[in-house]
Amino acid sequence: MPENVTGSLVLDGKWVREQIFAELKPRIAKLAATKRRPGLAVILVGNDPGSEIYVRLKIKTCEELGIYSEKITRPDTVTTAELLGIIEGLNQRPEIDGILVQTPLPPQVDKDHVLRALNPNKDVDGFHPVNVGALVENIPGPRACTPVGIMEMLRRYNIPVEGRKAVVVGRSDIVGKPMALLLLHANATVTICHSKTSNLAEECRRADILVAAIGRAHLITREYIKPGATIIDVGMNRKADGKVAGDVNPEDAKALASAYTPVPGGVGPLTISTLMANAVDLAEQHLCSG
């Protein structure tokens, strides 16, 4: 575990990521020995610079771990019907264990229709309604990557969750809602806040664990932070100078929190490691059922 050199423990996402990768490698090697490497297909539409960077990183990570990957690119003029056809083909291919549709998608594409066309057993992002339902019921299934990565970070840093008050700021389907459910399943007492919450600072100050995922740079300042809280900053906001800023003021987190995630280097590395773990989980399940 990285050393705590200041009063607040810096939660290092890269350290957690490397642990997860080290645990995945023998599992991947075992699958490869059966001539059944995990297979991940990534669908990239258009030329969004952020999406291109993310997809490039995902493909590179697959190569480093020994996971088979395919990148399928289409122009931003693609239709919903074309994407549905691609997904249907991937659903039928036994060597593809996970399918990822990189968002955002162009406005003419029905995103919900596209994501729901995925075979739930190949939904590596955990966004399909079947898998969301499995999360609500707390039964096995692919889970949203960032929230699962955060739970792994808390576990590996031995930060207790059970019985503690957790506040999640943000209600997105990708982070806020699944994060709240995972904390609830871990026996935290959970409050979900959002842009319409009254007295947001007061709600946040109750938190032993505060997860900021609202997408507003440095919204969370010292008046939002309970001294000694654990602060998880999911924000990745691009400032005018091109630098990335989290949702939490880092100096205030450093001064008041018992532990906090930096931006960058905190939550970011967890998402891709959990994505790879989901792909390996699905490959193992497909091998057993196949």
Residues annotated as catalytic (active site), given as ranges: 58, 102, 125
Phi-psi region of 287 (alpha: psi -120 to 50; beta: other; left: phi over 0): alpha
Run of H or E residues at 236: none
* Nearest CA among 93, 87, 120, 82 for reference residue 39: 93
C-alpha closest to that of 257 among 186, 196, 289, 209:
209
Which residue(s) pair with 190 in the sheet?
166
Element holding 266 (H helix, E strand): none
C-alpha distances (whole Å) from 257 to each of 20, 75, 223, 261, 278 are 26, 45, 12, 10, 31
Tokens encoding 80: 């919903």
Q: How far is it, in rounded angstroms, from Cα 269 to Cα 145?
A: 11
The whole-angstrom separation of Cα 206 and Cα 225 is 8
Number of CB atoms found within 10 A of residue 21's CB: 17
CA distances from 1 to 18, 22, 61, 157 (A): 11, 15, 23, 7
User: Could you give the angle at which helices 49-65 and 13-33 cross, rounded to 10 degrees?
Assistant: 50
* Structure-derived torsion over alpha carbons of residues 220, 275, 125, 135, reported in degrees to the nearest 10: -80
Please report, as a single letter, which amino acid is at residue 28: I
